[in-house]
């Protein structure tokens, strides 16, 4: 990965949810210590995860509030968030 595309993902906050459509958590985090992003959804289907970013419905269309425009950035965010989510789930299972 090119150094110019490396980002620091910190202050990851995960709120687990129970949903019928695969949504397992809502996440917020800080990128590069400068930009707070929230309302990121973690969806799980089988063992695959995907993140969704918030949109605003206006009339008959949806507009993106924010989302990564480079795949390499999206992948870094997803990796950091999913790692924290899996640790949270593992800790929850072992505490039962």
Q: Can you give the residue range of the structural domain that contains 64?
A: 7-95
Question: Who contacts 95 (Cβ-Cβ below 8 Å, separation ≥6)?
Answer: none
Q: Does this model's pTM top 0.85? A: yes
> Is residue 85 domain-resident?
yes
> Is residue 67 domain-resident?
yes
Closest by CA to 55, choosing from 67, 42, 43, 69, is: 67
> Is residue 2 domain-resident?
no
> Is residue 57 domain-resident?
yes
Q: What is the pLDDT of residues 2-36, one digit of tens each?
A: 788 999 999 999 999 998 899 999 999 999 999 99
> Is residue 84 domain-resident?
yes
> Is residue 31 domain-resident?
yes
Q: Convert 11-63 into a string of H (helix), E (strand) and C (coil).
A: EEEEEECCCCCCEEEEEEEEECCCEEEEEEEEEEECCEEEEECCEEEECCEEE
Q: What is the pLDDT of residues 52-83, one digit of tens each?
A: 999 999 999 999 999 999 999 999 999 999 99
The dihedrals phi and psi of 27, each to the nearest 5 degrees, come to -130, 150
């Amino acid at each position: 990965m090119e150094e110019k595309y490396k980002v620091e993902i910190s202050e990851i906050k995960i709120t687990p949810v129970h949903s019928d459509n695969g949504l397992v958590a809502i996440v917020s985090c800080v990128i590069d210590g400068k930009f707070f992003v929230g309302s990121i959804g973690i969806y799980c289907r089988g063992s695959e995860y995907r993140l969704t970013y918030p949109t605003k419905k206006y009339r008959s269309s949806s507009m993106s509030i924010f989302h990564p425009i480079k795949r390499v950035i999206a992948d870094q965010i997803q990796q950091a968030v999913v790692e924290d989510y899996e640790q949270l789930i593992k800790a929850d299972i072992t505490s039962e």
